[in-house]
Chain A
Amino acid sequence: MTEPIGLSINLPVNRVMRALMHEHDVAIWRSASGRLSAWNNRCPHRGMRLSHGFVRGEALACLYHGWHYDAEGKCRYIPAHPELTPPDTIEVKSYSIEESSGILWLTTSGKAEPLALPDNLQPVRSITFDCHADAVVKSMSVSTLAGTDGDPLRIVPISQKPHALSLETANGEASVFILLQQCAGQTAAHILADNNWSADGLVEISRWSEETRRIAEKAVGELAAAEQGVE
């Protein structure tokens, strides 16, 4: 299945990032020309995580020995042997990654299929919660967003797989879109807002997400403490 693993703006050209998706550790990078790739996060030479590597033009180089891999994941250059043409068998496994609505969409099997979202969205931020997605959604309904006159936000589910929802203001004029990605005990929320939000409004949404995180992690902490008390 396809999951939202980050915001496009957080992966500029010449940069590498790491994404965890279920049991998969993935290195994601954008070449100098803007080409996006997602690979198994392990150099076939000595097992080093490629997310620590560096981009050289259209290649990603491993930090350990500088082995260069092209956009197809084939090793093209081994600095210890500059004259050698590396055999085609030295290859990193690649995955399908797509960009849509300012979100990076990844799958580790088959072709990535982004969720269709409105085309008037602007990125706000990504934020990681130390708890399950259910606790995140629950805490959203009790945290307040400044500039909405204290009206509760209406949470509108969009999709379960991938996990997406929107928040509507009471007058229905402005919305926030949230893509949730859960991995192990953590949940990442990738937040977008429509064009009706001002720059100040985006700052408020960012603050709201931090308040949501405080509420969610506090609730989970109290629950765990209560369960321990019962034992």
Chain B
Amino acid sequence: MMSGLERAKQDWYPVEMVGGLASGETRDTRLLGIDITLSADDDGKVSVTAGDTPWPTMVAYDHIWTSPSSDPRPLFEIPEAEEKDRRFVPCGVVRVKCSPLRAVENFLDIAHFPFVHTDILGAEPHTEVEPYDVNIDESKDEVIATKVKFFQPQAAKSAGDGIITDYVYRVPAPMVSILYKTCPPKPDAQDVIALFVQPLDEETCDVWPWMALYDYESTMADMIHFQQMIFLQDRSILENQMPRRLPLDPRKEIPTRADMTSIAYRRWLKRNGAVYGALTEVR
């Protein structure tokens, strides 16, 4: 069987925002433990090299993606990225000392909202998580959670009073999560927020949040600030979870019914051998 690292090398990963490097600028970073260099040419087009080896690059969802593989798996799709009336908001990068898988799992979790994002995404006494549906979409090999509902005091920058927010979650790749949530100014549509994770190694990651919103009021700076504030609150949790890697053995961390998405995510990782950043045995 392929190792977790070999499996992880088959995927695309974000390493920079489009326009994040000025023409002629270079930046060193790391992916899956491999040192790489990003260079922007005179036209701003970014290339990636590991030592002398060029890696493939592609542009999608306002980010530059690369892969150690010369023939990576196809990148997942976000059809909403084609909807021209949305505002697309790449939110920058946050470095987190945790497994890339822990960062994704936290993004799938709603039960922490009242305690970690107090008075914004949740508030006591509205802590109950109602039953919801979780499935594996076999055609796309994705984890998908639907009918997720939660009371939120300030669901988005554009939200006024508290509302019951509906969520749908997708995990289309081990280190990517996309959520669809009630859009306060446009009740028939859904805002899209994604987390693209760059694994520096198994216990460190750079997280690139990206949003596609129906918010014509807020400034870009306000929307980015809102998302960064939320994610910095998450970081204070992620850097204090022990062990840093995500344990896949259910005996190692006790779940409850509210964790159905997390349970499905861990099983799906195990089934796919996507164990880079995971602990596969009880220690």
Contacts and interface: CB of A to CB of B under 8 A. Distances in A.
Interface of A: 25, 41-42, 44-49, 52, 63-66, 78-82, 84, 89-90
Interface in B204-259: 236-237, 240-243, 247, 253-258
Contacts, number: 65
Contacts of A79: 111, 114-115, 124, 127-128
A47 B236 CA distance: 13
A81 B115 contact: no
A45 B243 CA distance: 12
Contacts of A80: 111, 127-129, 256-258
B242 A25 contact: yes
Contacts of B243: 47
Contacts of A48: 237, 240-241
Contacts of A90: 254
A45 B242 contact: no
A66 B127 contact: yes
A45 B116 contact: no
A42 B283 CA distance: 15
B239 to A, nearest CB: 9
Interface of B: 111-112, 114-116, 124, 127-129, 236-237, 240-243, 247, 253-258
B129 A81 contact: yes
Given A48-B240, A81-B256, 7 more contacts: A42-B242, A45-B255, A47-B241, A47-B253, A49-B242, A63-B116, A79-B124
A47 B244 CA distance: 9
A84 B243 CA distance: 28
A81 B111 CA distance: 10
B76 to A, nearest CB: 26
10 contacts: A44-B253, A46-B241, A48-B241, A49-B241, A49-B242, A52-B236, A64-B112, A79-B127, A80-B111, A82-B128
A90 B114 CA distance: 22
Nearest to A86: B256
A54 to B, nearest CB: 9
Contacts of A25: 242
A47 B262 CA distance: 14
B112 A44 contact: no
A88 to B, nearest CB: 12
Given A64-B112, A64-B115, A65-B115, A81 B241 contact: no
A78 B258 CA distance: 10
A44 B250 CA distance: 11
A67 to B, nearest CB: 9
A112 B237 CA distance: 31
B254 to A, nearest CB: 5
A66 B240 contact: no
A47 B242 contact: yes
Instruction: Indicate the member of A42, A79, A89 with the most B CB atoms within 10 Å.
Output: A79
B254 A44 contact: yes
A42 B124 CA distance: 23
B25 to A, nearest CB: 36
Nearest to B247: A47
B127 A49 contact: no
Contacts of A42: 242
